[in-house]
Chains A and B, each alone.
Chain A
Amino acid sequence: MFRMDEAMRKLKILADSAKYDVSCSSSGTARSGQKGKLGSAAEAGICHSWAADGRCISLLKILFTNKCVYDCEYCVNRRSGGTEKASFEPRELAELTMEFYRRNYIEGLFLSSAVEVSPDHTAEKIHEALWILREEFGFLGYIHAKIIPGVSPELVNAIGLLADRLSVNVELPSDESLALLAPQKKPKGIYLPMKQITETMAEQKTLKGGGNKFSTVKYRGQDLSYLNPQGGQLDPVKLAGADPTAVRAAGGLPVMAREEAARYGELRTYKEKFAPAGQTTQMIVGATPETDRHILKMSEGLYKTFFMKRVYFSAYIPVVQSPKLPDVFTAPPLAREHRLYQADWLLRFYGFEADEIVDEKHENLDMEVDPKVSWALRNIRLFPMEINKASMEELLRIPGIGNVSAMRIVRHRKMAAVKFDDLKKMGVVVKRAKYFITCCGKYYGDIDPEPERVRPLLGDGMIIPQGVRIKDDRADVIRGKLSDHRDGVQLSMFSGGFGTDGTEGGNVHGLSV
């Protein structure tokens, strides 16, 4: 192993440079241990510590090198930047990972890298490090490897056979922004490896999309002809709605894997497979002028097209002074990032389309209330819904009700009517839900909805209650009560529970589901 001071230096530089990368979750693969080997991977993802910024530390998140030949405008490691540089030797990195893992500091490795010499040169080193880990040291823990745009297909394949998860960053929400800020990265160099990863997984029949919405989508050789540079249109936003066969969400709306199964997630035996935990991607938000609508449509497109497990957003932190970028004193748009994650959650687990969350009239997410409440208020005429009658799909649209609580309601009411007092025990966030529901016909929100209207029916004078209706102007009152903008909510994507990948289904990302 390397010397103490040298090890400290490298670790500091290379962790420091990697820390802005947000996709930290370690979930998505289950693998049991093997005789004589070290490690296993748990389906639900495990946090090992929480850093001073409140983020979960699950993986050893680190760069292989920060010596970069590229010159991305927003990056501290760019060629023309003045940061101190360092690179690991493959063996050093493998040893470090083993020793950390053995002490249960980490769940595995998340290896990213700058471009030293060339994409292929760097990818070869990364491959060597992973090979030593897996083959020589018998490491069975989790590995997430980042694929640098422009890496040759052979290397993508070789790395994919060693890693659990791969990711190619889209970096910025549009081609124009990419050309402006990361001129050496070409859309094609990004989308081709993504496509290769998707296709390889489809071939080995392990392709499964993100959340419970996109996992029911079938791969039909999604039309990727737009990847042809002559075709011009490289923006997946344009593709999002292009293939109507792609999403057949209707039948397979969010029903979480049984909660117990998720919790006590059983271990499968490890077989060598290409990226068994699929692929993810990430983009920087707030460095360029794209709207939330643009970003969410793009995410939806990435889920549908490439079967991403997750699309991560990273609030731009101005570390570099440049005329092309927001001023260095600009606060990172953490609140916006938080809202985007909430919206992403609605896309993947709640059966929402991007168009419903942000429409042409509302191009950006509401900062005052979460996107689910925002949607409900815009559609207040659909509420209140009766807890004992609403379908699973409808229940999931109610603010304050999540996958787990919706399922509990459905199960419970098969045996007995659900009463208002039961809701809290079932995990419903009552203080939010109460505005949007009735329970056994009664409305509990403290907003004075329109009084129960009655209307005489048929000639015999029988009266049938028409139920509660919420007057349109009440929507603003509710909005005032549910605003979480000021009360110091943790504006961070990391404010979730354990299963950062949604296995807990609960109030991850502070979205009261």
Chain B
Amino acid sequence: MDYLYDGTYMGLLCCVYAHYYVEKATGIFREGEYQTSLFGKVYRVKTDEDKARRVYEAMEKKLGEFTLRRSYLAYLSNFPDKEMRLLRYLVFGFKQGRGFNNMHGHPDVFGVQEIEKRIYNERHRYLGILRFSVIKGNRDVLYASLEPDNDLLELLADHFLERYQAEPFIIHDVKREKAIFAAGGDWYIAPLAKDVTVQLAQGEEFYRALWKHYFESIAIKERTNPRCQRNFLPKKYWNHLTEMQV
């Protein structure tokens, strides 16, 4: 039977619960993204904290922390069939027991490993290519915007919190209209409209210009290789990159 859930992680865990205790899932879809099928009924999985917790605790106890982290990363990804992949992965895990992650060639393990790698790579990329601007506020605030494929905002928080110990910063996922607000060693995520306007602090344009200038100077003419450049830095990321603005 096809499941519909509310798109939350807790909701997804409840789907796992239902798979074991109600009826096996043939597909799991977010509410609103489901094309009603002509055959078969759909089951609306109600998000229930207790059930979610039971699944979570079973995962923690039987499959370990690594699996917990991996599952959550899979949930944050934008893979269209991530829900079923995650379900199969967990079902296989519960059958096989701890250590199942070592079966790298098994399709159910690989299915999630692949998603995890994808989101992890995108995160790693953003650690480098996120560009902060100093904007005016009561005091200087660092502001960065991005449009990631995966919903990875929260995976960026700790890295930058570590770096910017003395400065407040905002990381804005324009696509999903939410942002990390961080200051004084703490952070939270809150909605933020995509068309928010920011006012640049004094000196900001100066350093942007310097950076662009540096960026152009550092390339070796004799080795110009736009294909290689785009390979590492696909065009879709250029919008938010200071050095790529004309």
Contact = CB atoms under 8 A, between A and B. Distances in A.
A46 B228 contact: no
B129 A49 contact: yes
Contact of A15 (B142, B161, B218): B218
A19 B218 contact: yes
B128 A47 contact: yes
Nearest to B99: A415
Contacts of A60: 214
Contacts of A4: 206, 209
A220 B226 CA distance: 47
B101 to A, nearest CB: 9
Most buried by A among B121, B124, B133, B227: B124
Contacts of A495: 228
A463 interface: no
A453 interface: no
B166 A37 contact: yes
B132 A317 contact: no
B41 to A, nearest CB: 35
A425 B102 contact: no
Given A36-B165, A51-B229, A53-B229, A102 B134 contact: yes
A492 B214 contact: no
B127 interface: yes
Given A54-B228, A412-B105, A415-B103, A102 B222 contact: no
B99 to A, nearest CB: 7
A38 B225 contact: no
Nearest to B208: A103
Contact of B104 (A50, A58, A412): A412
A18 B218 CA distance: 8
B232 A412 contact: no
B223 A11 contact: no
Contacts of A103: 131-134, 142, 207, 211, 242
B193 interface: no
A326 interface: no
B104 A19 contact: no
Contacts of B18: none
A40 interface: yes
A271 interface: no
Contacts of A46: 124, 127-128
Give chain A's interface secondary structure class: loop
Contacts of A104: 128, 130-132, 144, 160
B167 interface: yes
Nearest to B241: A49
A32 B107 CA distance: 37
Nearest to A410: B102
Contacts of A12: 213, 217
B164 A38 contact: yes
Nearest to A496: B232
Contacts of A57: 215, 218
B2 interface: no
Contacts of B206: 1, 4, 7
A498 interface: yes
B199 interface: no
B217 A54 contact: no
Given A37-B166, A267-B162, A47 B211 contact: no
B110 A54 contact: no
Contacts of B243: 49, 105
A105 B242 contact: yes
A33 interface: yes
A39 B164 CA distance: 6
B95 interface: no
Contacts of B131: 103-105
B102 A414 contact: yes
A53 B223 contact: yes
Interface in A400-416: 408, 411-412, 414-416
A48 interface: yes
B233 interface: yes
Interface in B191-246: 203, 206-207, 209-211, 213-229, 231-233, 241-243
Contacts of B133: 103
Interface in A227-276: 260, 263, 267
Interface string B182-194: 0001000000000
B103 A16 contact: no
A100 B221 CA distance: 24
Contacts of A16: 217-218
B162 A425 contact: no
Interface string A34-71: 11111110101011111111111110110000000000
A359 interface: no
A48 B129 contact: yes
Interface in B111-134: 120-121, 124-125, 127-134
B104 A408 contact: yes
A401 to B, nearest CB: 13
A415 to B, nearest CB: 6
Nearest to B102: A411
A51 B218 contact: yes
A11 B162 CA distance: 29
A52 B165 contact: no
B66 interface: yes
A411 B101 CA distance: 10
Contacts of A494: 228
Interface of B: 66, 99, 102-107, 110, 120-121, 124-125, 127-134, 142, 144, 159-167, 185, 203, 206-207, 209-211, 213-229, 231-233, 241-243
19 contacts: A18-B218, A32-B162, A33-B162, A37-B166, A38-B167, A42-B127, A49-B241, A51-B229, A53-B223, A54-B225, A100-B211, A103-B134, A415-B99, A415-B102, A425-B110, A490-B225, A490-B228, A492-B225, A495-B228
Q: Rank and list the top 7 A-B pairs by shortest CB-CB distance, nearest first.
A: A422-B105, A54-B228, A51-B219, A52-B219, A53-B223, A411-B102, A15-B217
Given A11-B213, A47-B128, A494-B228, 12 more contacts: A32-B162, A37-B165, A42-B127, A46-B124, A46-B128, A50-B228, A53-B228, A54-B227, A54-B228, A408-B102, A412-B105, A495-B228
